[in-house]
Structure 1
Amino acid sequence: MPVIHWIYPTNEKSNYYLDTRNGDTEVSPQQLLDDIRQSRNEVDRWVLGTGFRQMRPGDAIWVYASTPYQYVCALAQTVDIDFDGDFWHASLVWNIDATERLMQNPIPRSLFGQIAQRAAVRANQHAAEVLDDWLTTQRLMLSDLDSEPSPEEDTRLRTLRTIVQRQGQHTFRQGLLGAYGGQCAVTGERAVEVLEAAHIDGYRGAHSNQLTNGLLLRADLHTLFDLHLIGVDPEGRLVVSERLAGSSYAKLRGKRLSLPSRAQHQPSKRRLAAHLNQLTKLAR
């Protein structure tokens, strides 16, 4: 299936925005580049008001900075399209090389001609040709998610596509990273690539993404938590199922978790108790 070009506007009139680390919904091109550089190994989620039934994994998202810039300044590709109960989102992975070149020499609207002010729009034939010509001139290629993953970038896209749901929604995960000081609540692991946003009470839409319904856990512990093989007791200590006896995880039994200092960020004791109850039932 051919890659479709989309032009995505960011301006004060747009209802479409990047979930940035500091919560901003209106960003300058430089702020956008700074955020992309910081999250080069992560997946960003952009709100979609239109186009979500036509957009497919692998489609190109050209970020158009409207007033006062009126130019294309960044390039990403979609790895997933999903609905969280309230909004449609496109999960994006950034083409860092292309974006840094676009920031230095953006593509002006006068060149591609198409207007995008309030919604992501599919590039018309002329605009698509201009964007394709730019890629050719820059000797850059878009990754084809339907092809064999021979190029390194294709492999990265596929890998990110598999972890996008595991890492949790970008804003939710970034909130937990801040609340937990960027370290696993159990082990203290600080490698951000393996830290995931674990829902205590399973994900059931955007309302589930409250920090009190989350724990920041290393990826393997997130899996065990979801399987109810580990839990947290009322004293904030780790409970490990007998099914893990003899494993390295058994040594973590009774370890006190490092929880956020702010009470409003700490996990809900009610939800932890309900989760632990499931562990107890499975152990019978």
Structure 2
Amino acid sequence: MPATHWIYPTNEQSYYSLDTQGNIEVSPQTVLHHIRRMRDEADQWLLTTGFRQMRPGDAIWIYASNPHQYIYALAQAVDVDHDGERWLISLAWDLAATERLISDPIPRSMFGQVARTAAVRADQHTSKVLDDWLTSQKVTLATLSGEPGSDEDLRLRTLRSIVLRQGQPAFRRRLLDAYDGQCAVTGERVEGVLEAAHIGGYKGAHTNRPDNGLLLRSDLHALFDLHLIGVDRDGKLVVSESLAGSTYAKLHGKPLFVPHRPQDRPLKRSLAAHLRLLSKPHK
């Protein structure tokens, strides 16, 4: 199935995400430096259009709209998420293809389509130019359908599984902030194992609210989703009798860490509803 191509412009008016300092330097070399740092992570950029049409695996071509007017980087979509205020796309960068594009960009004179301040879907002519470039450079886009056939397929799948397992990136980031970067139960601070658990389940972007979430270590997240642990009305952990004799049983009755901001604290009614589904509760 042919790839869906998107042209994402970088300039001081378009939306992009480069660093936590709010810098607006978006030269190709600066973006390349950023991509090298994010090679093994899912990177997040902002979206104002296309968020309802973009799909995981879509090709995202980065376009320097002013003054260069050329394509100089390539990524693939991992996931599209809403953080309550903005739409965000998680990207898996193709560093090798980007380095080729940096040294020999695709000028707008070749594909003609204009993308000034927001991502646009490539038209038929632009798509052909981009497909031809991929063929000429022997670049194969990773796929999420069927069995993985290359290291890039596996990398894209892995990045996507991390994004989905940890919770939508923006939602997780908000919980990391709310819980001061520590597991609500154990106090674990290794960020790579901390995940965003939905209390009432994920039912759309509107449920990605801190008061519908807990920041949990990955194993506790799994137990929470399986209704083997829950939280009582006093904010203490309840462990299912199914886990008697395990190391988790020792956590029964442990008070949970509570976010400082009242609006970030988990809703008691949601915790109560979750607790009612606890497997083999204590009598």
- TM bucket, shorter chain: 0.7 to 0.9
Maintained 8 Å contact 2:148/2:154: yes
The whole-number CA distance in structure 2 between the counterparts of 1:92 and 1:188 is: 30
- Report matched runs for 1:38-117 at 5 Å: 38=38, 40-42=40-42, 44=44, 47=47, 49-50=49-50, 52-53=52-53, 55-80=54-79, 91-102=90-101, 106-117=105-116
The whole-number CA distance in structure 2 between the counterparts of 1:170 and 1:190 is: 17
Tell me the secondary structure at the aligned position of residue 246 of structure 1.
coil
> Which residue of the other structure, out of 255, 276, 279, is the alignment partner of 1:278?
276
Please say if 1:263 is aligned against 2:261: yes
% identity of equivalent residues = 56
Please say if 1:179 is aligned against 2:178: yes
Shift of residue 143 of structure 1?
1.4
How high is the TM-score relative to the length of structure 2?
Answer: 0.75
Tell me the secondary structure at the aligned position of residue 197 of structure 2.
strand
- Report matched runs for 1:1-284 at 5 Å: 1-11=1-11, 14=14, 17=15, 22=20, 28-29=26-27, 30=30, 34=34, 37-38=37-38, 40-42=40-42, 44=44, 47=47, 49-50=49-50, 52-53=52-53, 55-80=54-79, 91-102=90-101, 106-132=105-131, 134-135=133-134, 139-146=138-145, 148-260=147-259, 262-264=260-262, 266-271=264-269, 273-275=271-273, 277-279=275-277, 283=281
The whole-number CA distance in structure 1 between the counterparts of 2:232 and 2:153 is: 43
Maintained 8 Å contact 1:228/1:278: no
CA 111–33 in structure 1, closer or farther in 2 if over 3 Å, else same: farther
What do residues 117-155 of structure 1 show as CA deviations (whole Å, max 9, x unaligned)?
254333345534543454456553311333531311111
Maintained 8 Å contact 1:73/1:106: yes
What are the ranges of 5 or more consecutive residues in structure 1 without an aligned counterpart? none
Tell me the secondary structure at the aligned position of residue 61 of structure 2.
strand
CA 144–49 in structure 1, closer or farther in 2 if over 3 Å, else same: same
The whole-number CA distance in structure 2 between the counterparts of 1:119 and 1:63 is: 11
CA 49–241 in structure 1, closer or farther in 2 if over 3 Å, else same: same
Shift of residue 198 of structure 1?
1.2
Tell me the secondary structure at the aligned position of residue 49 of structure 1.
coil
What are the ranges of 5 or more consecutive residues in structure 2 without an aligned counterpart? none
Compare 148-157 and 88-97 and name the one that shifted more: 88-97
Compare 18-27 and 99-108 and name the one that shifted more: 18-27
Maintained 8 Å contact 2:232/2:275: no
The one-letter amino acid paired with 2:266 is S
Maintained 8 Å contact 1:233/1:272: no
Maintained 8 Å contact 2:83/2:171: no
How high is the TM-score relative to the length of structure 1?
Answer: 0.75
What do residues 216-250 of structure 1 show as CA deviations (whole Å, max 9, x unaligned)?
11222112222332123355432211122223321
Maintained 8 Å contact 2:3/2:58: yes
Shift of residue 57 of structure 1?
3.7
Aligned-CA RMSD value: 3.9
